[in-house]
Structure 1
Amino acid sequence: MCTICALSSLPRCPNRTSVMSSDLDDRRPIGLTLGQRLDRVRWSPRHVTILVGLGAGWLFDSLEVNLVGNFINPLDKHFHASATAGQFVIFSWLVGILIGALVGGRLADRFGRRRMFVATLVWYAGFTVLTGFSPTLSVVVALRFITGLGVGAEYPIINAAISELMPARVRGKASAAVMNFWSIGAILAGLLAFLLLNAVALSDGVSWRYGFALGGILAVVVVFFRRRLPESPRWLASQGRQDEAEAIVAQLEVAAGIGNGEEAGFAAEQATLTFGQALSELVHRYPGRLALGAALDLSEAFGYYGIFAFLPLVVFPAIGIANSQIPFFYIFGNVGALVGGVGMTLLFDKLGRARTVITFYVLAALGVGLLAVATNTANSTLVLVAFMVSSGFATAAWTSAYPTFTELFPTHLRGAGVGASVAVGRIGAAFGVTLVTTVAMHTNITAGYLIVVAFWMVGVAAMVMYALRGGVEAARRPLESLVTPKGRPDPALA
């Protein structure tokens, strides 16, 4: 059963759970607050449109990312570059994501989710196309960095938007469903690479150019869908734009077939925070949550990107897999990823955040161990099967992590909180790409795999520690009820 179908089958009964006032409002609301009205809305076609619109952008983020893995060897061959030089193409892109996540998260809190998720899509689509026209490897590295700025900004924007627009009872499942569009994009990247490398049989010097150009052009199509998506009412209210927030909530209520006759609470207008002020508030009011987000993202980014760079640069050449066969591995590997991600999505709200994250991070580590065993056999079929299993567990792990830490930050800091967490994660990804590959080249392949296993376990340790120290369990709870009142310590540090 697909994730969207699973969401559509949920009971259509309004949720009138009593919640706290908005974290930005010190006054007692009259009637239902804006957050309560959003949470009581039944699942409707409007929610499906929002989910697919945001998911489609995530799909093309993935397409753009996975084009590198599919075309890195032909690109290196064309420029007569070593595997080490190829690492810098991926490294520069990851550094771009690091900076883009930090800046994009803050801009999303300042200018809104909708405006930024249109701008970032246009940005990275344009520079992806330009990558296909690069005359030298140095230009490829530079354009990968610039493209990464746009991709990085997408992480906090999409995660903040989906968590703020969905009813509490399905927020986890809906957020994870959007994350699963990543695997679909990765499959499409593999199909595109297969078409160019095999069906059309383009040379190494041309195939990667067409891949990047076509990937960027296709992404532009999503802009037209994203322009139809609403702004987050919670963000609008946090900026004192109550009338606009009311209008969007009313539209969602009408789409769900319920009235909006009850008066909503107010939201106090906030002074615009600088980047430094936002980070300061996160560190002082939500240190445990920020540390959890950073640790989970560091762990999964190191594990995920470490493997996806490690395989084409070291493992595939070692077991005799030709460039033309690499797309097959990515296609089947991401089919496994999609199965794992969808399976986790169906369990997410039932199991709860901590239990789900811990379970799948442990399974992700075991999956890497299975891949190491298969690689030592030098049997390409066993490696493919192990890669599918490993990808399924890894995707289930990271698609559970993003919604888990996204919903823990208050609305006016959500973009900055997610952006800071992702930025730390990209440090892990950037060094994971170089460290795992370098260690494997200078020692053995198994040593590279063991490093990845160790980093998956960092995420396990972080989630266990957060839960044991009284960290908030957010499954099915309204966002407003997760906020720590001013003057009280973060529960995770109590």
Structure 2
Amino acid sequence: MKISDNFNQGHAAASPALSVLDRLPWRPIHTRITLVLGLGWMLDAFEVNIVGSVLGVLQKLWHTTAEQTSLLVSAWLVGILVGALLFGYCADRFGRRRLFLLTLLVYSGFTVLSALSPGYYFFVVFRFLTAIGVGAEYSAVNAAIGELIPARHRGRAGAIVMNFWPLGSILAGLLTLYFINVLPASIGWRFAFALGAVIALFSIWARKALPESPHWLAAHGHHEAAAAVSAEIAGESVTALLPAEKPAARTLGFIAQLRELAGRHFGRLALGCLLDFSEAAGYYGLFALLPLVVLPHLHVGDEMVPWFFIIGNLGAAFGGLIAAAILDKAGRKITVTVFYLLAAASMIALGSATLTESTAGVLVAFTLANLCATGSWIAAYPTFSELFPTRMRATGIGFSVGFGRIGAAISPPLLVGVAHHMTIAAAFGLLASFWLIGVVAMIPWTIWGTEGKNRPLEGLAAD
């Protein structure tokens, strides 16, 4: 039987050809899409974690102060915010494929320049520019995943792509152990960055084979191109099912796009912003408290710190796999809510383990906390990414990510300050409250919002 014969007539909001793509079984092209986009996401994680791994080395080489180190972190977060907002809009305006090629070009180019930095201030500028490329990835990649994957596999595929993050973190930790401990400190960190750029160039080559989103093409009136891409993905001609008379989406300016998002889709935008703020504040807060408060409290030596991150990220990968396994089965609402609730509880458990001053206990608790935290945001991204209309999906994702970076910026200094001036228990209580923001955001959405499991994108947008 032809795939087109299985078209679900109940999904009237979607054009017939796009609904055919939503009804496809899993095909080899979907595996290629998932792996190629996942590899790029792994590089983003590598980039974030490699900087944290070499900060101590750079402080000694360049004799930087604590304030200068914090400026580097701030520049990185601002760069991600700018990249997510600006390139999110560009992905909606010019297409997903162009942007997720451009993002890796920006990333790889400025990563090379980071490796060649002659001093601290050059490094800050190049890290800011690299972060713009990483921020752009958040928007372009998350928009592309849902538009290229069948509806009943969309959550799982999105979660699998996101789960390349802990793999990138583990790679960064292992490379740090080698390049920093084996090579001279003055050049070891440069080799680590350069290797990331080399892998990025390979990813650019792999991404060139990926198609443009047929949803984006159809929404912008490119019906023949959408039909060609649909045929490539489906393995059969669906040209006759794409209505050429369907009008193209309006082209809005950046501010007008944001205004329409906030006006017509406020609930969805609020959900994305709050979920991303919650996970960013919680995740960055966790990874600030561990090296700056918890490990010094336990008197853990510098040579042991990378192992905490490597083992912890093994737990993170397992959490991502759990999210990927249940997101399309249990549904978005229950999966996201339970993961955020477990993340909050796991932060309390890590705080309790810290107070016992048991190194083994802290390692186990941190691994569990990383499992729950990573499962939370890996489940959240596919959930709010699919809710925005195609013509403004990347903009909505970018705005949510940008809002979330506010949480990432305020959480680490606030939590460390509370730990130093009040108590460690109070700091972990505040950290747990950041994760509870996501739980609170999901409660009204669970009651009144749309469940995206097995739903076509156009159907979700029409709800």
- Band the TM-score falls in, shorter-chain normalisation: over 0.9
State the 1:259 CA deviation.
Answer: 5.5
| Structure 1 residues 316-355: Cα deviation after superposition (integer angstroms, max 9, x where no partner) | 3332233332221111111100001101211111111111
State the 1:239 CA deviation.
Answer: 1.1
State the 1:203 CA deviation.
Answer: 4.5
State the 1:245 CA deviation.
Answer: 0.5
Select 2:455's aligned residue among 457, 464, 477: 477
Aligned partner of residue 117 in structure 2, secondary structure: coil
Q: Which residue of 1 aligns with 2:373?
A: 394
Q: Which residue of 1 aligns with 2:72?
A: 89
Q: Which residue of 2 aligns with 1:196?
A: 179
8 Å CA contact 2:285–2:412 kept in 1: the answer is: yes
Letter in 2 for 1:414: R
Q: Which residue of 2 aligns with 1:34?
A: 17
Select 1:59's aligned residue among 38, 42, 67: 42
| Structure 1 residues 171-207: Cα deviation after superposition (integer angstroms, max 9, x where no partner) | 1111111111111111111111111233xx3344443
- Counterpart-to-counterpart distance in 2, 1:474 and 1:315: 39
- Stretches of structure 1 that go unaligned for 5 or more consecutive residues are 1-11, 24-31, 486-494
| Structure 1 residues 16-58: Cα deviation after superposition (integer angstroms, max 9, x where no partner) | 33344557xxxxxxxx623212112221111101111111110
- Counterpart-to-counterpart distance in 2, 1:190 and 1:97: 22
Percent of residue pairs identical? 46
Question: Does residue 153 of structure 1 match 2:132?
Answer: no
- Counterpart-to-counterpart distance in 1, 2:88 and 2:233: 25
Go from structure 1 to structure 2 and tell me whether the alpha carbon gap of 1:371 and 1:221 turns closer, same or farther (over 3 Å shift). Answer: same
Q: Which residue of 1 aligns with 2:232?
A: 251
- Counterpart-to-counterpart distance in 2, 1:99 and 1:390: 29
Question: Does residue 357 of structure 1 match 2:348?
Answer: no
Go from structure 1 to structure 2 and tell me whether the alpha carbon gap of 1:314 and 1:132 turns closer, same or farther (over 3 Å shift). Answer: farther
Q: Which residue of 1 aligns with 2:213?
A: 232
Once the two structures are overlaid, the 10-residue window that deviates more, 415-424 or 118-127, is: 118-127
- Counterpart-to-counterpart distance in 2, 1:250 and 1:328: 47
Q: Which residue of 2 aligns with 1:126?
A: 109
Question: Does residue 139 of structure 1 match 2:119?
Answer: no
Letter in 2 for 1:333: G
Q: Which residue of 2 aligns with 1:47?
A: 30
Q: Which residue of 2 aligns with 1:26?
A: none
Question: Does residue 215 of structure 1 match 2:196?
Answer: yes
State the 1:372 CA deviation.
Answer: 1.2
| Structure 1 residues 427-475: Cα deviation after superposition (integer angstroms, max 9, x where no partner) | 111111222233333333333322211110001000112223x111111
- Counterpart-to-counterpart distance in 1, 2:5 and 2:384: 26
Q: Which residue of 2 aligns with 1:104?
A: 87
- Counterpart-to-counterpart distance in 1, 2:66 and 2:281: 19
- Stretches of structure 2 that go unaligned for 5 or more consecutive residues are none
| Structure 1 residues 406-429: Cα deviation after superposition (integer angstroms, max 9, x where no partner) | 000000010110000000001111
- Counterpart-to-counterpart distance in 1, 2:114 and 2:295: 25
8 Å CA contact 1:74–1:207 kept in 2: the answer is: no
Letter in 2 for 1:478: P
Alignment of 1:439-454 (within 5 A): 439-454=418-433
8 Å CA contact 1:51–1:162 kept in 2: the answer is: yes
| Structure 1 residues 355-405: Cα deviation after superposition (integer angstroms, max 9, x where no partner) | 111100011111111211222233322222111111110011000100000
Q: Which residue of 1 aligns with 2:400?
A: 421
Select 1:74's aligned residue among 33, 43, 57: 57
Go from structure 1 to structure 2 and tell me whether the alpha carbon gap of 1:206 and 1:312 turns closer, same or farther (over 3 Å shift). Answer: farther
8 Å CA contact 1:106–1:275 kept in 2: the answer is: yes
State the 1:483 CA deviation.
Answer: 1.7
- Counterpart-to-counterpart distance in 2, 1:288 and 1:325: 45
- Counterpart-to-counterpart distance in 2, 1:400 and 1:449: 23
| Structure 1 residues 248-296: Cα deviation after superposition (integer angstroms, max 9, x where no partner) | 1001121xxx554753334311231100111111111100000000000
- Counterpart-to-counterpart distance in 2, 1:151 and 1:237: 27
Q: TM-score, structure 1 length as denominator?
A: 0.89
| Structure 1 residues 55-113: Cα deviation after superposition (integer angstroms, max 9, x where no partner) | 11101111111112222222223333344432222221011101110001100001100
Question: Does residue 287 of structure 1 match 2:266?
Answer: yes
8 Å CA contact 1:87–1:433 kept in 2: the answer is: no
- Counterpart-to-counterpart distance in 1, 2:127 and 2:277: 21
8 Å CA contact 1:113–1:160 kept in 2: the answer is: yes
- Counterpart-to-counterpart distance in 1, 2:253 and 2:6: 36
- Counterpart-to-counterpart distance in 2, 1:362 and 1:223: 38
- Counterpart-to-counterpart distance in 1, 2:229 and 2:264: 30
8 Å CA contact 1:73–1:312 kept in 2: the answer is: no
- Counterpart-to-counterpart distance in 2, 1:96 and 1:261: 41
Letter in 1 for 2:400: S
Aligned partner of residue 350 in structure 1, secondary structure: coil
Give the length in aligned residue pairs.
460
Select 2:153's aligned residue among 170, 193, 202: 170
Go from structure 1 to structure 2 and tell me whether the alpha carbon gap of 1:405 and 1:119 turns closer, same or farther (over 3 Å shift). Answer: same
Aligned partner of residue 328 in structure 2, secondary structure: helix
Q: TM-score, structure 2 length as denominator?
A: 0.94
Q: Which residue of 1 aligns with 2:8?
A: 17
Select 2:284's aligned residue among 291, 299, 305: 305
Q: Which residue of 1 aligns with 2:241?
A: 263
Go from structure 1 to structure 2 and tell me whether the alpha carbon gap of 1:131 and 1:441 turns closer, same or farther (over 3 Å shift). Answer: farther
- Counterpart-to-counterpart distance in 1, 2:122 and 2:357: 36
Aligned partner of residue 483 in structure 1, secondary structure: helix
Alignment of 1:424-439 (within 5 A): 424-439=403-418
8 Å CA contact 1:19–1:36 kept in 2: the answer is: no
Q: Which residue of 2 aligns with 1:338?
A: 317
Aligned partner of residue 349 in structure 1, secondary structure: coil
- Counterpart-to-counterpart distance in 1, 2:5 and 2:360: 50
- Counterpart-to-counterpart distance in 2, 1:145 and 1:408: 30
- Counterpart-to-counterpart distance in 1, 2:57 and 2:379: 34
Letter in 1 for 2:193: F
- Counterpart-to-counterpart distance in 1, 2:225 and 2:239: 17
Q: Which residue of 2 aligns with 1:465?
A: 444
Letter in 2 for 1:234: H
Question: Does residue 187 of structure 1 match 2:170?
Answer: yes
Go from structure 1 to structure 2 and tell me whether the alpha carbon gap of 1:40 and 1:321 turns closer, same or farther (over 3 Å shift). Answer: same
State the 1:232 CA deviation.
Answer: 0.2
